[in-house]
Amino acid sequence: MADTTISYSWHQRPRVYQYLLGTFISALGVLSLLVTSHHEAGPWSIFGYVFLICGLFMFVEQQTRIDTKSHIVFREGRLFGWLRIWFTRHPLGDFTAVTCRRFVHIGDNDTIFVGLRRQTGQVMEVFYLTVANGYPCVRASNEAQTLAQKLGLPLDEQGVT
């Protein structure tokens, strides 16, 4: 029996790196709040809360699963990989194309987003990859082509190759 579920994790880096980054950012937030608590209350304490919230979001793993048999796209976020924070479900008929677009960063690596375009024109991005500025991303292009073939949707590539 063929596998009918296609799964993608939002971040392609290992979980331990994600958690280390979240711990570091959260620690910066806690440190900032501790420092501002000993001084006058002012607008600087907001930075501590921002760092703390951003650090906590690094512990949420985002997953997209596409069931080709039931034609449903599931998206969810799980805290530490097991406690479900949010969950959405969309019928595959809501999507018109598989997209692959490049976001160019000046003086840094580019980001390639692979996603599904809705009938409204909005794109639900499934995962991203990083590639050197100006170079093609063969992996993203191949992954988008494979996804388009499996789902029977057209492919819309914008500046990937």
Structure confidence by residue, pLDDT tens digits, 31-89: 888 887 777 666 777 888 999 999 989 899 999 999 988 999 999 999 988 899 999 99
Cα dihedral value 9, 12, 13, 16, nearest 10: 10
- Cβ contact 114:128 at 8 Å: yes
Per-chain mean pLDDT for the chain: 87
At residue 159, the pLDDT reads 56
The reported pLDDT for the residue numbered 2 is 56
The yes-or-no verdict on residue 161 having pLDDT over 60 is: no
DSSP code of residue 58: T
- Report the percent of the chain where pLDDT is more than 90: 39
pLDDT at 1: 41
Q: What was the pLDDT predicted at 160?
A: 59
Whether 149 has a pLDDT exceeding 80, the answer reads: yes
What is the structure's pLDDT at 97?
94
Q: What is the DSSP letter of 141?
A: H
Residue 6 has a CB neighbour count (10 Å cut-off) of 16
Q: What is the pLDDT of residue 41?
A: 62
Closest CA to 127 of 113, 147, 116: 113
* CA dist., res. 57 & res. 61, Å (int): 9
Tell me how far apart the alpha carbons of residues 131 and 116 are, in angstroms, rounded to a whole number.
Answer: 20
Residue 113, φ and ψ in degrees, nearest 5: -105, 130
* Residue in 130, 126, 104 with CA at minimum distance from that of residue 116: 126
DSSP 16-57: HHHHHHHHHHHHHHHHHHHHHHTS--STTHHHHHHHHHHHHH
